């Protein structure tokens, strides 16, 4: 994050009431490099609750781009990674949430690594034992070994040359792109419909986040 970006965020923060959701999201953005988990959780709260509409934005992605300066792929990875933490590292996530703000956060892999872990876990042909071992390496290793682990994860996701399933994989991706377009339309419709029960909206949103993680 550049110095000019930080100054813009500081200027916005001065105009907002401390403690409000909008203020908290911007504050988390400022601490982004040290606390991606907080930002990922808050972004999930914003998109689920539709608060960005109360702030004058018709579209969640537009809000993220204009107010937070976050591109769509980054927002996607943050939310997918946060959802991964909820599913597989609940205890660590609770420890993080309960730690005082003035204390150093427990060491965590970067959101890019966690998002890759999520992709690999969903990859056909990856066994549960392999997924667990990669997970352990990501969360037990120090930061020095993380770039190498990311490279290994990307290699596992790369189609193999000459693979007979390459055409089928491309077709699957085209079909998935169509499904994702429908899922985003579903999210917009749900955000406009306030008659759905809150627990149902929550379950649907979690399904949509998991679906988008396949992209």
Do 5 and 97 reside in the same domain of the chain? yes
Do 87 and 185 reside in the same domain of the chain? no
How many Cα atoms within 13 Å fall on the side-chain side of residue 178?
A: 5
How much is the average pLDDT of 67-75? Answer: 92
Contact status, residue 75 vs residue 110, Cβ threshold 8 Å: no
Do 95 and 66 reside in the same domain of the chain? yes
pLDDT at 164: 52
Domain extent at residue 45: 1-107
Do 102 and 113 reside in the same domain of the chain? no
Would you say residue 50 has pLDDT above 50? Answer: yes
Do 1 and 70 reside in the same domain of the chain? yes
As a whole number, the mean pLDDT across the chain is: 83
Do 84 and 135 reside in the same domain of the chain? no
Would you say residue 99 has pLDDT above 80? Answer: no
Orientation of helix 198-212 relative to helix 72-88, angle to 10°: 110
Task: Return d(Cα 191, Cα 76) in angstroms, integer.
Answer: 18
Do 211 and 120 reside in the same domain of the chain? no
The number of distinct structural domains making up the chain is 3
């Amino acid at each position: 994050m550049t110095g000019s970006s930080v100054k813009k965020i500081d200027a916005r923060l001065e105009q907002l009431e401390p403690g409000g959701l909008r203020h908290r999201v911007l504050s988390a953005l400022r601490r982004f490099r040290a606390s991606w988990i907080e930002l990922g959780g808050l972004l999930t709260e914003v998109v689920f609750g539709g608060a960005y509409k109360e702030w004058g934005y018709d579209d969640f992605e537009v809000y993220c781009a204009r107010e937070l300066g976050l591109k769509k792929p980054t927002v996607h990875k943050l939310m997918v990674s946060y959802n991964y933490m909820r599913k597989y590292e609940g205890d660590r996530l609770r420890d993080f949430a309960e730690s005082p703000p003035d204390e150093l956060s427990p060491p965590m892999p970067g959101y890019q690594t966690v998002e890759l872990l999520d992709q690999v876990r969903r990859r056909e042909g990856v066994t549960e034992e392999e997924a667990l071992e990669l997970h352990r390496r990501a969360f037990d290793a120090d930061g020095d070994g993380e770039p190498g682990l990311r490279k290994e994860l990307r290699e596992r996701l790369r189609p193999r040359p000459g693979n007979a399933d390459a055409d089928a994989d491309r077709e699957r991706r085209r079909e998935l792109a169509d499904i994702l377009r429908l899922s985003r339309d579903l999210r917009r419709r749900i955000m406009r419909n306030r008659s759905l029960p809150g627990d149902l909206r929550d379950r649907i949103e979690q399904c949509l986040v998991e679906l988008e993680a396949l992209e």
